[in-house]
A and B are shown apart, each in its own frame.
Chain A
Amino acid sequence: MRAAAVLIVDGITQPWNSAETADAPSLRVIEAEFRTNPLSARRFVLSDFLGATVLQRVINRLQICEVDPICILGDPHHPASVEFAHSPVDGPQPSFQNLWAEAEQLFLQFAQREIDFVFLIRLGTYAELDFVDLLQFHRENGEAFTCVEGTRGPVHIFVLSLAKGSGWADALKSVLRREPSLSARYKFYGYINPLASAYDFRRLAQDALAGRCDLKPVGKELRPGIWVGEGAAIDRRARILAPAYVGAHAEIMAAALITRGSAIEHHCQVDCGTVVDDSSVLPYTYLGPGLEVTHAVVDGGRLLHLARNIEVQIADRRLIGPTHSASARHRTGVNPLKSPTAHGIRGLVAPTECVEPASFHKAGEIAPSS
């Protein structure tokens, strides 16, 4: 019994097929769009999250279940990329024809390669699904396709049978048109995060760091609840209060404080005395000295204040802004799916050689004087 997977991810400029390349997904994501798009309209499925994107984590989960090949489709020119992923059933579907043609082509290839089942996943939603169990349910049920339903409705994850006479073409069309009327329903009561907004993104970070979901940060857990990525540099006078995450090659300077489920992604710099409290700082972001970043998602010069529900753009690197290496990355077109943290995609735990900072404290502890 063989199973393949097709992931539909808006924002991908060219398809990827794990059968054609043994390398990590060499996808070109529209990098410029990442930084110019308001955080309130961002596709967080492609944003680095505790060391790896949600897309990478879903691929990893499928690979563990021996799903092969895994293909990714997307439409970077989709005018309503975010809305499309979460639009209601009768919402606009302008790129349906392209998507249908590409998906049909893939399914034909799968059928020729004697693949029995295909997972069709529209990312999106992050769900800690047991794909083996889902496949078992689908086989036992005998319907043309099965759709996954969470406690708050469908989660856009489907299984289709490719056997002759299964009518997969009609089923595929039905799924892509979001009209899955004649399907079996797989009830899923596990962890689901719709990742529809920055609020969901922050909640996922908090849940992951607090151990409320299976998602593990990329790096080493130096103290309970404190994760540090490879090559991170933390000044001995900085304080990290659990739960917290410091990504690979991030730099935390003297007297900085990272606390309450904050996540500093890879290659970020937090300058002296700055407090990061209940916030996510996306890769290659610089936070100037003496700031207090609370209840926020920060990316380059953009800060989305979640408590006030407002986004400000600060075009002044003395406060917040992209790091110098971010502009270098943009010039060279480095792929975020091939980021320094991505090589640990299978285990999602990269080795670390970082020097352990002197001052790790559990929440509520008083920092020792240095």
Chain B
Amino acid sequence: MQKVRTPVLIQRLPARFNAGQVRAIMQELQPFLKADRPRVVFDLSQVEEMDAASVDMLLQCMSDASKRDGDVKLVSPSVRAMVILELTQLDRLFEIFESPEEASASFGGPFTASQTEDLLLGLPSASLGHLEAEQA
């Protein structure tokens, strides 16, 4: 039996991660989240501003991914982002890593540090249409 594994999607979130940005990001993410076992890493290193919509988005992604046996992880949140994550107790819900490589490796997939550089970074500039399923 052939098992299909999707790659890890690394999404760098914008500095102003608020309601204005959430819709565009979710539109781009939706196809990926509907795939089997979606694995998403959100890079919050640039995030300076978050609101309830961005908190909802992270929860929505976690919920969607969990329904399809996937997972969502967070990477190097800025101090401001960390304050919001703690305030909303999301820091207890998500696994938080220091680098995208660590986060990718935590999924237990076959990716190495060099390979993760080929993954999608900084959506929405990158297109999800380039995603290809990996044969495992």
Contact = CB atoms under 8 A, between A and B. Distances in A.
6 contacts: A290-B89, A293-B87, A303-B83, A312-B80, A316-B53, A319-B51
Contacts of A210: none
Interface in A61-98: none
B55 interface: yes
A139 interface: no
A304 to B, nearest CB: 10
A314 B89 contact: no
Given A319-B51, A319-B55, A312 B88 contact: no
Overall SS of chain A's interface: strand
B84 interface: yes
Interface of B: 18, 49-53, 55, 79-80, 82-84, 86-89
A266 B3 CA distance: 60
Contact of B84 (A294, A314, A315): A314
A149 to B, nearest CB: 39
Contact of A312 (B18, B52, B83): B83
Given A308-B79, A310-B79, A310-B80, A316 B51 contact: yes
Q: Which of B50, B80, B82 has the most CB of A within 10 A?
A: B80
A312 B84 CA distance: 8
Given A308-B79, A310-B79, A318 B86 contact: no
Contacts of A320: 87
Contacts of A28: none
A254 interface: no
A319 B83 contact: no
Contacts of A292: 86-89
B38 to A, nearest CB: 26
A290 B59 CA distance: 14
For the complex of A and B, the 10 pairs showing the least CB-CB separation, nearest first, are: A318-B52, A316-B51, A316-B52, A305-B83, A310-B79, A312-B80, A312-B83, A292-B89, A319-B52, A291-B87
Contacts of B84: 312, 314, 319
Given A303-B83, A308-B83, A310-B83, A291 B89 contact: yes
Q: Which of A294, A308, A312, A313 has the most CB of B within 10 A?
A: A312
A188 to B, nearest CB: 38
Q: Which of B55, B83, B87, B89 has the most CB of A within 10 A?
A: B87
Contacts of B87: 291-293, 303, 319-320
Contacts of A314: 50-51, 84
Interface string A275-310: 000000000000010111110000000010100101
Contacts of B83: 303, 305, 308, 310, 312
